[in-house]
Structure 1
């Protein structure tokens, strides 16, 4: 069978996305030639299955033969035994889009045919008189099926690309286009807004995405660049919503630990606390005083969060009595983890720096509390936060696509990770 071409503009990727104003992206997805070739293989395999179900129409016609005159023929009860598409290509066309071509197709058919005038030599006329007409009919049917498959299968599948991804009751991620997709000779780049937003009240963040110097790596099928802006909009949204608040109670401290959360433990550092509230349990309420800001540099990810620790004494009637308020800063190192479909991470707490903002139990030296607060932070607070961070956030992937063979590299102002793709 002859060539059947299907041209797909890169803008087809935008059919399920809302085009926003052009700006630096917070998140970039790159599909390399290797990735496009994998997409071609999966697409052709799916197309072959669709074509195998193709219902072929009866085919009839006539031609003139000297002496005999008009010869009428009919093909009927036609079935495709097999269908192969051995030569196909998806190629990025710089500044244009994607070109998909299927250059050859081979089919094996079974069926019946008849002619109104039978002589044995009529069968030899098939190649000269009938084959070309039959081929054109079949090509039209197949190319129509290819076009229909793109319309009914590919476009709905592309609509599974997330425009927004809900994270929880507080926030979602905007993965809409920041600019039209860009095709080069080596890849197709899709620039996404890559921004967390509040589900309750969406408002602009007070900073802009940095420029990303995307490298020219092409070993993996896909690459993603997650800007520091992407992560920091998350911190801003959660802080603004007032949900970056954690409480530590004595029930959260393993029984074998020495430093339980009560006035007896604190008596070594604040003697007057034990005198005022002897043998009482305590609670620590930790809340960010400003949005945490992630800094990404080659080989390093770090935060310098600023938060307050309000300490309470728990009275027998369960009411809380505030006793002191600390302002705390710390250096925190971060590690990013990418799974088959999500991006998450973990934090490691550095040494805390304390200052006393207010005391209801008189003056005391906060330096004496340094080791105790480091213990509570590293043993109780950070594991609690990391449990949530490990759950991660969804990546902008279409349905049934998973990542493998991952590589992660911190670059200036963005995190680069590459992967191969598996269609499940």
Structure 2
């Protein structure tokens, strides 16, 4: 299968870029909302509750009372509205393996409306103001997951109490109603006690649950791979906060199949500084490597036209910046490391060849260009194009160790000559390439991005050859030269795109901190 080399290399490095049970049940991605984050969410929920209460119309209050010789008088309180809900206090309690309880003790509600009294030909009306003092609310939330793998939230318990109610009635002959204010106040108190928990449950159904449904379950990366973010278990309340385990697995949407390896366990450190912590297992990245390798997209056929595309990408501003920061002229390629000096690259044979191979060289893969590598080649196959086929021996896997992310692929490189006026490919030689690449991982407001940092050189070993002796050392130098000057800068230009984090809509990360632990990447952040 033919693929664009830089795209496959991007996949290679992206794919190669709490305590739970051992085995396949381990999540690939864990989101922990700390108590600090839950308190931030609680402030948002309280704001929604206040807005909701301000729009609620309470039912009309009707009744009657006896007024001496005047007989029975009927009254009606209508257009009852909550003007203001003054929240003075709130508390958040985490009950491990149970639920989260939010308490709002000793708060006040201010209401108002109109009243009307009718007795025979007498028709009186006016308005009133009512204050509810020392109202306390306690709500417990349970968390679960639905069939689609998204989190759910429901009200497990709700209770409230009201200290006292005071009503002030104004208007024509309002003293008539003031004679029976105690009964009116008790009636209003009873109705409010019924309504408050009802409104909280409605708010959970109308606001919180639809918001949780905005969490992505599947993110399409390209036509070959999608990323699965469904929950593998219900969110768990702990003493540290709320842990939510996600699958965190790449899969082929056309031919889905489970990865042949499981996710390692992750032990999240007890951190509380940020609102949210995201733990991303090396398993997530390595399932991407497995998917693309199985689909054949890591088998790269490199021709001259591919090199021209790579050269164009390497000329981009981000690629130039990478070369300026990481490379120095001559054979000591990296500024920040003491690699081998590669003295042979300045031998009498190779220096002229390097001078003939600027970054815009477009016919590198040609038998005439290989005459210093394989002297017999140009004579046996004069003026013919050469094709390289590269593929890893197995899916290359990322390794996470404290402070480091490395990728150590083993790649087979097969060279063919393309016979003119024919579809025949004649095998020339096969090389095995070993290298170790370090990956620098970072996070922006909504995506994980990466870049290639200094690593070891590409080391070649001749596996077989159908032509004369090959100058493997010279071939190694040329491939390193082009890898460092073209492939790595082009790769970094693509790695800057990254892949998205499973965040609800309109949520972005700030004050981001990133740590690399054994088996996983830990991101601490606040949200806004």
Give the structure-1-normalised TM-score. Answer: 0.84
In structure 2, the CA distance between the partners of 1:68 and 1:361, relative to structure 1 (3 Å rule), is farther
Q: Secondary structure at the match of 2:232?
A: coil
2:59 to 46, 57, 60: 57
Q: CA deviation at 1:248?
A: 5.7
Q: Over alpha carbons, which structure has the higher Rg?
A: 2
In structure 2, the CA distance between the partners of 1:170 and 1:184, relative to structure 1 (3 Å rule), is same
The gaps in structure 2 that reach 5 residues or longer are 1-22, 125-172, 313-356
In structure 2, the CA distance between the partners of 1:89 and 1:63, relative to structure 1 (3 Å rule), is farther
Q: CA deviation at 1:374?
A: 0.7
* 1:111 matches 2:215: no
Q: Partner residue of 2:508?
A: 402
Cα distance in 2 for partners of 1:126, 1:269 equals: 107
The gaps in structure 1 that reach 5 residues or longer are 1-20
1:180 to 221, 234, 240: 234
Cα distance in 2 for partners of 1:163, 1:104 equals: 41
In structure 2, the CA distance between the partners of 1:136 and 1:303, relative to structure 1 (3 Å rule), is same
Cα distance in 1 for partners of 2:235, 2:469 equals: 61
CA deviations on 1:285-328 (whole Å, 9 max, x unpaired) are: 43222111111111111110112223345566695745333221
CA deviations on 1:351-410 (whole Å, 9 max, x unpaired) are: 001122343433313122111001222233333433443322222222221111111001
Cα distance in 1 for partners of 2:504, 2:265 equals: 26
* 1:308 matches 2:366: no
In structure 2, the CA distance between the partners of 1:120 and 1:390, relative to structure 1 (3 Å rule), is closer
More off after superposition, 342-351 vs 187-196: 342-351
More off after superposition, 299-308 vs 75-84: 75-84
RMSD over equivalenced CA pairs, Å: 2.9
Q: Secondary structure at the match of 2:231?
A: coil
CA deviations on 1:71-94 (whole Å, 9 max, x unpaired) are: 432112334444444444443211
- Would the aligned equivalents of 1:312 and 1:320 in 2 still touch at CA under 8 Å? no
Q: CA deviation at 1:23?
A: 2.4
Q: Partner residue of 2:335?
A: none
Q: Partner residue of 1:325?
A: 430
* 1:270 matches 2:374: yes
Q: Partner residue of 1:241?
A: 295
CA deviations on 1:122-173 (whole Å, 9 max, x unpaired) are: 4544652212312332443343222112112211221222233322211222
| Aligned residue runs from structure 1 range 143-182, under 5 A | 143-182=197-236
- Would the aligned equivalents of 2:374 and 2:468 in 1 still touch at CA under 8 Å? no
Q: Partner residue of 1:253?
A: 311
What is the count of residue pairs matched by the alignment?
A: 402
Q: Secondary structure at the match of 1:210?
A: coil
Q: CA deviation at 1:109?
A: 3.5
More off after superposition, 398-407 vs 218-227: 398-407
Cα distance in 1 for partners of 2:514, 2:475 equals: 38
| Aligned residue runs from structure 1 range 11-22, under 5 A | none
Cα distance in 2 for partners of 1:99, 1:214 equals: 24
Cα distance in 1 for partners of 2:69, 2:524 equals: 71
In structure 2, the CA distance between the partners of 1:245 and 1:102, relative to structure 1 (3 Å rule), is farther
Give the structure-2-normalised TM-score. Answer: 0.69
Q: CA deviation at 1:53?
A: 2.5
- Would the aligned equivalents of 2:447 and 2:500 in 1 still touch at CA under 8 Å? yes
In structure 2, the CA distance between the partners of 1:49 and 1:312, relative to structure 1 (3 Å rule), is farther
Q: Whose strand fraction is larger, Structure 1's or Structure 2's? A: 1
* 1:140 matches 2:187: no
In structure 2, the CA distance between the partners of 1:283 and 1:132, relative to structure 1 (3 Å rule), is farther
Cα distance in 1 for partners of 2:431, 2:24 equals: 43
Q: Secondary structure at the match of 1:363?
A: coil
In structure 2, the CA distance between the partners of 1:410 and 1:318, relative to structure 1 (3 Å rule), is farther
- Would the aligned equivalents of 1:22 and 1:179 in 2 still touch at CA under 8 Å? no
Q: Secondary structure at the match of 1:401?
A: coil
In structure 2, the CA distance between the partners of 1:377 and 1:314, relative to structure 1 (3 Å rule), is farther
